Amino acid sequence: MILSVSRRTDIPAYYSDWFFNRIKEGYICVRNPMNIHQVSKISISPEFVDCIVFWTKNASPMFDRLEMLSDYKYYFQYTITGYGKDFEPNVPDKKKVILPNFKALSEKIGADRVIWRYDPIMFSQRYTPEYHLRAFSRIAETLRGHTKKCVISFVDKYVKNSKNIAKANAYELPEDKLREFAGRLSAVAKDNGMVIATCAEKLDLQSCGIEHNCCIDKQLIEKIIGMSLRVKKDKVQREECGCMESMEVGTYNTCLNGCIYCYANYSCESVNKNFAKYDLNSPILCDSISEGDKVTERKVKSLAVLQMSLMTDDSN
């Protein structure tokens, strides 16, 4: 089993205490967002968890407790963009906090296990292609040697973020200009020793030197764990998404970053309402098991099938 922690919220930044409590207890509960009274109870024992994929904009709250993950294999999808407080109001200062913390994490666990995400890319009057190129170049130069891969995507409109995107007066580049822009990003990444890839993009940018990406990456996980996996593409995700199947443990409408492009929050009000229910000891994030819930224990198993002769980093 692969754990996704989490596409729906920033658990490392805001809910790491809760997550480490779940590690201690050995199980986690997840409410089905399509059927609110259906709850899955999931064992997260190391014997079943092949790898944990963390998604975050700030992993520093986890730093002093990484030893609690010594029985697990894991890597981080770590987002650092060039946006300011107008787009990412609650993300800490990039220069003073986020970039140094990214580098510190890389030094702890290895550059191949910290993926830099510069996404989503949204163009506006302030955040022009030239602005993004300057910001991308500065970040890439700072992170040189501390990551081997950069993932990009272009902002997608959802019901949850369409109003905010409209308020930002976002615009799209014509395809020829977009390819030119992507090619320049690719050159910067290459100059800084990074492979660059897209996340769930319809547009094929391989001619620009940009690969298709799998954020839940079978090849990377197999390298990290030293085993091959019997795992399928995740059918729940968009068609363009190349991710493998994983167990998502987060809760929508709980991320406190406040990013205007977020697809996981309906509104600040919904986030505040759910955050008020945050309980470190609850098996469900920002929620609790109620009388009308049907709790079903999910059958889980390791997906590892064959020992591989791979060089892996023994550190966790």
pLDDT tens readout for residues 93-116: 999 999 999 999 999 999 999 999
- The label of the residue with tokens 């910290």 reads 114
In a domain, 316, yes or no: no
Read off the pTM.
Answer: 0.93
Percent of all residues in the chain with a pLDDT value above 70, rounded to a whole number: 95
- Taking the C-alpha atoms of residue 100 and residue 94, their distance in angstroms, rounded to an integer, is 8
Token pair belonging to 39: 């709850």
Interhelix angle 99-109/129-143, nearest 10 degrees: 40
Nearest to 149 by CA among 92, 95, 88, 217: 217
What's residue 121's pLDDT? 96
In a domain, 125, yes or no: yes
Our CA angle for 4, 293, 52, nearest 5°, is 10
- Which sign, positive or negative, has the C-alpha torsion 157, 60, 98, 247? negative
- The pairing of strands 195-198 and 27-32 is unpaired
In a domain, 159, yes or no: yes
- Taking the C-alpha atoms of residue 244 and residue 16, their distance in angstroms, rounded to an integer, is 24
In a domain, 314, yes or no: no
- The label of the residue with tokens 């990009």 reads 152
In a domain, 312, yes or no: no
In a domain, 313, yes or no: no
Residue 43 belongs to what domain range? 2-307
In a domain, 208, yes or no: yes
In a domain, 9, yes or no: yes
Rg (CA), the chain: 19
Q: Are 249 and 5 in contact (CB under 8 A)?
A: yes
Over 50: is that where the pLDDT of 62 sits? yes
Per-residue pLDDT band at 125 (split at 50, 70, 90):
very high
Q: Are 275 and 197 in contact (CB under 8 A)?
A: no
Q: How many domains are there within the chain?
A: 1
Cα 103 off chain centre by: 17
Alpha helices, DSSP H, located in the chain: 11-14, 16-25, 99-109, 129-143, 162-167, 175-191, 218-225, 268-275
Top-confidence residue, 254 or 314 = 254
